[in-house]
């Protein structure tokens, strides 16, 4: 994990032994596709739960079956997920597991392998997205180019930065720095910040191409 200072809008999951064990499995090049999916899904669930912890709440008083009153909490506002295709689609089920009937939007952004610059190809978002909290889903934050373009799409649709939470399994220090500087009010929820990018803009030590390992291999 990088030792660089972490911006205030970045939330890293507690580096427990359980979490490190899960990452050891999905980073291993010899891990089977079925195991990669299973253990990635466990991490995704943890990321979603942490994202939900960042949402505003209001006091709620309920009566229990014993007749007693319990002073609890209720979430304020509606949420939706937006996956950056295709790898981000792997995180949709984890969000659905935690939030019943959650609406899901999609954004397709492709990166030029030579320039590493992103291009927007497609987006389909809920019509009322401007009134929702948005969980932006993409497993890897490398240069940050695709994620920043996705946030620009959301802002153009009327979503305030403060209502966007970006969830990813692995982030690079370079991507974190670029993203946090441009969008200081977007919350980043990540599982781990790795050492950095290599000359090909791949995260190191990373885990390879997440989409290929989740869907193809």
- Residue 142, pLDDT > 70, answer yes
On whether residue 188 sits in a domain, the answer given is: yes
With a cut of 60, say whether residue 213 has pLDDT above it. yes
Residue 211 lies inside a defined structural domain of this protein: yes
**For position 115, what pLDDT does the model report?**
63
State pLDDT tens for residues 41-85. Answer: 999 999 999 999 999 999 999 999 999 999 999 988 899 999 998
Number of domains in the chain: 1
Catalytic residue among 16, 33, 115, 198: 115
Write down the catalytic residue from 103, 111, 157, 195.
111
Within a 13 Å sphere around the CA of 141, how many CA atoms are in the beta-carbon half? 32
Domain annotation covers residue 2: no
Q: Residue 200 belongs to a domain with what CATH number?
A: 3.40.50.2020
Q: What is the rounded average pLDDT of the residues 126-139?
A: 95
Q: Does 4 fall in a domain?
A: no
Q: Is residue 193 part of a domain?
A: yes
Average pLDDT in the 175-196 region? 96
Tell me the C-alpha distance between 38 and 77, whole Å.
31
Q: Tell me, yes or no, if 123 is annotated catalytic.
A: no
Average pLDDT for the chain: 92
pTM over 0.85: yes
Question: Which residue do the tokens 């205030």 mark?
Answer: 8
Residue 3 lies in a domain: no
Q: What is the mean pLDDT of the segment spanning 122-131? A: 92
Q: Summarize pLDDT for 19-28 with one digit per residue, the tens.
A: 999 999 999 9
Q: Is 103 helix (H, G, I), strand (E, B) or coil?
A: strand
Computed on alpha carbons and rounded to an integer, the radius of gyration of the chain in Å comes to 18
23, part of any domain = yes
Closest listed residue to residue 123, CA positions, set 104, 144, 142: 104
For the record, the structure tokens of 16 come out as 């427990």
Paired with 196 in beta bridges are 204
Contacts of 86 by beta carbon, 8 Å cutoff, 6+ apart: 108, 211, 215
Q: Are strands 118-124 and 140-141 parallel, antiparallel or unpaired?
A: unpaired
- Give the pLDDT of residue 216: 83
> Which position among 41, 97, 195, 209 bears the catalytic label?
209
Closest to 172 in 3D by CA, of 18, 15, 12: 12
User: For residues 138 and 84, is the Cβ–Cβ distance under 8 A?
Assistant: yes
pLDDT score at 136: 98
Q: Respond yes or no: is residue 212 known to be catalytic.
A: yes
Lookup: tokens for 58: 């209001």
Q: How far apart are CA 12 and CA 149, in angstroms?
A: 22
Q: Is the pLDDT assigned to residue 209 strictly greater than 70?
A: yes
Query: Of 189, 201, 209, 76, whose CA–CA distance to 137 is shortest?
Result: 189
Flag whether 39 is in a domain.
yes
Cα dihedral 172, 177, 182, 185, rounded to 10, equals 90
Domain boundaries, position 203: 10-215
């Amino acid at each position: 994990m990088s030792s660089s200072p972490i911006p205030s809008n970045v939330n890293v999951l507690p580096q427990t032994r359980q979490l490190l064990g899960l990452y050891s499995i999905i980073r291993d090049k010899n891990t089977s596709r079925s195991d990669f999916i299973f253990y990635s899904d466990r991490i995704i669930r943890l990321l979603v739960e942490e994202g939900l912890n960042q949402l505003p709440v209001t006091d709620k008083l309920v009566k229990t079956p014993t007749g007693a009153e319990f002073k609890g909490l209720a979430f304020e506002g509606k949420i939706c997920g937006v996956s950056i295709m295709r790898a981000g689609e792997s995180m949709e089920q984890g969000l659905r597991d935690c939030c019943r009937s959650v609406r899901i939007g999609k954004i397709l952004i492709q990166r030029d392998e030579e320039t590493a610059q992103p291009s927007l190809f497609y987006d389909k978002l809920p019509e009322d997205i401007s009134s929702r909290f948005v969980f932006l889903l993409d497993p890897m934050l490398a240069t940050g180019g695709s994620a920043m373009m996705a946030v620009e799409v959301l802002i153009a649709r009327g979503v305030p930065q403060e209502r966007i939470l970006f969830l990813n399994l692995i982030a690079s220090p370079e991507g974190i720095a670029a993203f946090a500087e441009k969008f200081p009010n977007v919350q980043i929820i990540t599982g781990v910040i790795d050492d950095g990018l290599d000359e090909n803009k791949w995260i190191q030590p990373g885990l390879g191409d997440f989409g290929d390992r989740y869907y193809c291999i």
